[in-house]
Amino acid sequence: MKDQLIAEVQQQMLPYLNNEQLRKLRAAMEFCLHGLEVTQTDQQQEQEQPDATMAFIAAKRIEGCSEKTLTYYRKTIEAMTTAVGKPVQRITTDDIRQYLTTYQMQRKSSKVTIDNIRRILATFYSWLEDEDYIVKSPVRRIHKVKTAKVIKETYTDEALEQMRDNCDSLRDLAIIDLLASSGMRVGELVALNRDDINFNERECVVFGKGNKERLVYFDSRTKIHLQNYLDNRTDGNPALFVTLRAPYN
């Protein structure tokens, strides 16, 4: 605990002292605290962590982040603070480096996963710095993890035709064509309603990440297959694509 206190004081004084002055400050504190035992009560730890974390989550919710993203943020931060065993304001750069290294070794995680965690922690601590919870973010000196750039392969025309040939319902055929021609995400597709489709302009409105609205367009073949699918629907469900017990012919 004594070393944690000294490290925290050094971190708080980073904007005002150079490296030589920080070394002298550490030496002076070690001399003054020699023979003393420094402790922190569990009540202090419990009071310090949730306030900062939940304040950050609340701020991101106001900014429009989805609940799924907020949950991911919260779990990532809580996992780190639990593993390190300190309140968020007392965590140092070395603590985070050690956490990321241990996390990768124990879980055999990819560099992409580790950099995602680093990015979330950087966002969190930058916010804490801006809101004066801390003086300087401990993640500043942890650089982006270099990852290999992988070019994703696209479906060939032959592969798309094979998928179309193997569709056993008008619904599946319409789904394949709409995804292929518009480039929309699967999550955007399943959220579509009938009213979102403009057949005259061959376009539809989708809501992507962060509830961002955008227009996507589809080709004439998709239009025909969508109309055939909807013409064979007998239910009143407003959703564009539904799952029924009996597939449409």
Question: Is residue 48 a contact partner of residue 89, using CB atoms and an 8 Å limit?
Answer: yes
Question: Is residue 138 a contact partner of residue 125, using CB atoms and an 8 Å limit?
Answer: yes
DSSP string, 131-171: TTSSSS-TTTTSPPPP----PPPPPPHHHHHHHHHT--SHH
Question: 40-130 in CATH: which number?
Answer: 1.10.150
Shared fold status for 40-130 and 157-231: no
User: Is the overall model pTM greater than 0.85, yes or no?
Assistant: no
Domain ranges of the chain: 40-130, 157-231
Question: 157-231 in CATH: which number?
Answer: 1.10.443.10
Residue pLDDT tens, the chain, 249 long: 677 778 778 777 776 778 888 888 888 988 888 888 777 655 444 444 447 899 999 999 998 888 888 999 999 999 999 999 988 888 999 999 999 999 999 999 999 999 999 999 999 999 999 988 888 899 999 998 887 777 777 788 899 899 999 998 999 999 999 999 998 988 889 889 999 999 999 999 888 766 678 899 999 999 999 999 999 988 889 999 987 554 444
DSSP designation for 245: S
132 to 90, 137, 167, 170, 215: CA distances (angstroms): 14, 10, 57, 57, 40
Question: Is residue 125 a contact partner of residue 73, using CB atoms and an 8 Å limit?
Answer: no
